[in-house]
Amino acid sequence: MSACHVELVSFIEYYSQIYFNIYYWFRVVFIHLIPCSALVVLTALLVNAMRRAQDRRQLLLKQNRRSESRRLAESNWTTLMLVAVVGVFLVVELPLAVLLILMIVKNTFEIKIVEEASLEVATLFVNMVIVLSYPFNFVIYCAMSRQFRSTFQSMFCPGQ
């Protein structure tokens, strides 16, 4: 029978509760909450800018300035693609942050918030959704970017 043996440095072993609390809270705050909050704010600003650009595009169409309107529409499409990719990222990242917070509270304060089996199922589900989000981003790029499709085709189907 083979197995792994985990041994902590004596300093960390002595202060393991404090060490792991600091580590996990740091991860939740600086890896999940602050970046996700910044992404939410920036995405809201992007959506607001897209609405203003759409209004400007309508004005250009009324003034019969189609070439400028077309360039603005292409720019909006690229921005919409960015919003879609960021939205997918946030949808999968925020539940992971919530699970980490539940785990930290459970381990730190020894409070039983959620059944252990439910937490394990939720962790498996969130991890599965994260893994499934990667090909979904590929689909977003393929569906929304002609340049991405042509570059992809030239890389993997050079004869066509």
Domain assignment present for 8:
no
pLDDT in tens, 64-122: 777 777 777 777 787 888 889 999 999 998 898 899 888 888 888 888 888 889 989 99
pLDDT score of 106: 86
pLDDT score of 35: 92
pTM of the complete model: 0.73
Distance of alpha carbon 115 from alpha carbon 117, whole angstroms: 5
pLDDT over 90 (residue 128): yes
Distance of alpha carbon 109 from alpha carbon 23, whole angstroms: 16
The amino acid that residue 62 corresponds to is K
Domain assignment present for 6:
no
Domain assignment present for 105:
yes
Domain assignment present for 87:
yes
Domain assignment present for 7:
no
pLDDT in tens, 18-52: 898 899 899 999 988 999 999 999 999 988 988 88
| Structural domain boundaries, residue 116 | 15-156
Domain assignment present for 4:
no
What Å distances lie between residue 92 and 63, 67, 129, 136, 147, CA to CA?
43, 38, 7, 12, 27
The tally of domains found in the chain comes to: 1
Domain assignment present for 5:
no
Q: Place 160 in a pLDDT band, splitting at 50, 70 and 90.
A: low
pLDDT in tens, 49-74: 888 888 877 777 777 777 777 777 77
Are 102 and 113 a contacting pair, CB within 8 Å?
A: yes
Domain assignment present for 9:
no
